[in-house]
Amino acid sequence: MSALTSIEKRILSYLKDQEAGATVTSQSLAKALNYGGTKMYKKLVRAINYLENIGELEQTKRGHYCLNAKVSKTVVGTYRANAQGFGFVTYAEGQPDFFVPRGRALNAMQGDTVEVEVLKLANPQTGKGSEVQVLRVIERAVNQLVGEFVAYPSEVRQERQALGYVLPQGDYSDAVRVEIDPAGIQPADHSICIVKISQYPTAEAPHLLRGLVAKEIGHRDEPGVDILSVLYQFGIPHEFPEVVKEAAEAVPQTLSAQDLANREDLRQEVILTIDGADAKDLDDAISLNRLENGDYVLGVHIADVSYYVEEGSALDLEAYQRGTSVYLTDRVVPMLPQRLSNGICSLHPHEDRLTLSCQMVIDSQGQVKSHRIFRSVIHSSYRMTYDDVNAILEGDEGLRQKYAPIVDLLEDMSKLHHLLEAKRIKRGALDFDAPEAKVLVDGQGHPLDIQLRERGVAERLIESFMLAANETVAKHYMTRDYPMLYRVHEQPDSERMQRFAEFITAFGIVLRGKVETIAPKQLQQALKQVDGQDFEQAVSTMMLRSMKQARYSEEALGHYGLATAEYTHFTSPIRRYPDLIVHRLIHRYLDKKPSHQDKARIFDQLPGIADQSSKMERRAIDA
């Protein structure tokens, strides 16, 4: 350290005083160390570059700086277990995870905050990441587990002073056991239980825990117990508190004259919904007209859930905690009580319903020429299913006669969809159209069959119209610099993209361009080359895994996969909390232009909502 200049020493000293894994920009360092002015800032940048060259600092993918792992003897991060015994530690945004070899995890469990020591640094030649060992567990992530109880024989019960053990569900090694203390509930053999942990693993017994059974969910073979156990495992609430039920009961199921105030009346327009046959929460409806010049006037009408779910109410707080509806094999765990989600908020046919509308004038190139966002009331004329619309568009004579008044409308909708789809493809949007499986179950929840979900024109048509509305709403408020919640998907990590580029060379495909700045259009070209090939799904899946996860943010960071600079979620407020927030903000902005103080206050609230919404979405996907 003696050979370093005073400024270089100050930089290292400052970083060592920060939290482990902290990253900084050159600008934030200049501010913290009081190196203002052009001359001083240039000196600082030179010092940073030197420290990076000698290996004291390293640069993240985002251009931030942090202490090199070998300089920082220990690092704090989040442990992620693997059922095969090894694990990973995430420690800094933009940095690759550390690898924890089998036997080096101490007694760390999934999600724990741990302190680790670096054993081996990453090897760029082999592509192997840095290896670490866990020194200590700083904070435990879980205090309860869900799993199957296995009873001990009587002699073992007395010897171990335990009823038996529970095999936990989730990312745990097969060796992990939770011995059950007799002081709690005494469950039946092979029942699924919730266990409150009283003792965590030790260095001497790294796979053994102890706990009390807090709840017996049911026998493993009972119908529906497997799904219930998943809900408990991920902490997903599947019953509403009484205060929330009471709030839902208080919501009227019909509209009053007061409800219609300050709304555009669209009840005489032909408006329809298109959903799956078993869908009950219908939150989007569409209308379409043609102008004399050939332009389309597309109306996307979304259930005005925020009118009923007031900010800070019991309904709102519960929806915030849940974040999203959760769709499992044989059931839906709704974000909102069914009195709202399947009742007054759902856009049922032949019923007056409150909506927020985004009306767009679209030309023959699929370009939105003008738009309006406004409060409305609609009266849906038809409740259509994807299957029926697909059959009509394919020429089914029986259905074309049954729905004769709207056959031309549906064909115009199909034409507009193809225009919008062509526009997205032209700009480079990626289409990961992986086949989806649908599990058919009987009344007791037993699986009967697995069918592939086919996505026809009807499904893609609704997708195109919702994408257009989401982009239009995002752009509307971005150009006005109003605070808004955005759906963002960032540039892929260069290391992952490099691995993908190497992977596809095995199929004779060369990825053009630099992996650091790869454009969606270039990835789209790679997908085109494998279209229809036996290995198409493998390449598509690997590409998807090379992407970052989409998330919610108060910053308009763009959506890489859709190749657009502006995107939000506006179209599903019944089942997604972010959409509900977007609606709430639209109402506020329709009432009045926000002041600087209004903007600052709203902007302060959005990061927490974005983070919670992203976490709950991830939880639902994992479940």
- Amino acid identity for residue 173 in this structure: S
- The whole-number pLDDT of residue 122 equals 67
CATH number for the domain spanning 20: value is 1.10.10
Asked if the structure places residue 467 within a domain, the reply is: no
Asked if the structure places residue 293 within a domain, the reply is: yes
Q: Over 70: is that where the pLDDT of 126 sits?
A: no
Q: Over 60: is that where the pLDDT of 48 sits?
A: yes
Asked if the structure places residue 554 within a domain, the reply is: yes
Q: For residue 125, name the pLDDT band (cuts at 50, 70, 90).
A: low
Residue 56 is given by DSSP the state S
Residues 294 and 280 in one domain: yes
More confident residue, 61 or 279: 279
Residues 393 and 367 in one domain: yes
- The whole-number pLDDT of residue 2 equals 42
CB-side neighbour CA atoms (13 Å) of 326 = 26
- pLDDT, mean over the chain: 89
More confident residue, 83 or 32: 32
Output phi, psi for 471, to 5 deg. Answer: -65, -45
Is 199 in contact with 192 (CB distance < 8 Å)? no
CATH number for the domain spanning 119: value is 2.40.50.140
- The whole-number pLDDT of residue 1 equals 41
Average pLDDT of the segment spanning 31-43 = 80
More confident residue, 128 or 365: 365
Q: Over 80: is that where the pLDDT of 412 sits?
A: yes
Residues 287 and 380 in one domain: yes
More confident residue, 22 or 193: 193
Residues 403 and 333 in one domain: yes
Residues 532 and 561 in one domain: yes
Domain boundary among 462, 495, 524: 462
Determine the Cα–Cα distance for residues 393 and 391; give it in Å rounded to an integer.
Answer: 5
Residues 108 and 16 in one domain: no
Beta strands in 17-130 (DSSP E): 57-59, 65-67, 74-81, 87-90, 98-100, 113-120
pLDDT tens per residue, range 204-242: 888 899 999 999 998 888 878 888 888 878 888 889 999
Is 169 in contact with 147 (CB distance < 8 Å)? yes
More confident residue, 276 or 437: 276
Asked if the structure places residue 469 within a domain, the reply is: no
Domain boundary among 84, 108, 139: 139
Residues 175 and 297 in one domain: no
Asked if the structure places residue 487 within a domain, the reply is: yes
pLDDT tens per residue, range 391-406: 999 999 999 999 999 9
Residues 221 and 252 in one domain: no
Asked if the structure places residue 415 within a domain, the reply is: yes
- The whole-number pLDDT of residue 488 equals 95
Tell the residue number behind the tokens 């101490």, with chain if given: 106
Tally of residues, the chain: 623
Helix (H), strand (E) at residue 116: strand 113-120
Asked if the structure places residue 470 within a domain, the reply is: no
- The whole-number pLDDT of residue 578 equals 97
Counting residues of the chain whose pLDDT is more than 70, the rounded percentage is 96
Per DSSP, the three-state class of 469 is: helix
Asked if the structure places residue 468 within a domain, the reply is: no
Residues 511 and 580 in one domain: yes
Overall domain count for the chain: 5
User: For residue 511, how far is the Cα from the chain centroid?
Assistant: 28
β-strands 264-265, 368-379: how paired?
parallel
pLDDT tens per residue, range 491-531: 988 888 888 888 888 888 888 878 888 899 988 888 888 88
Residue 510: domain span: 477-622
Residues 6+ apart with CB under 8 A from 573: 283, 302, 303, 304, 305, 306, 345, 579, 580, 582, 583
Residues 125 and 167 in one domain: no
Average pLDDT of the segment spanning 329-348 = 91
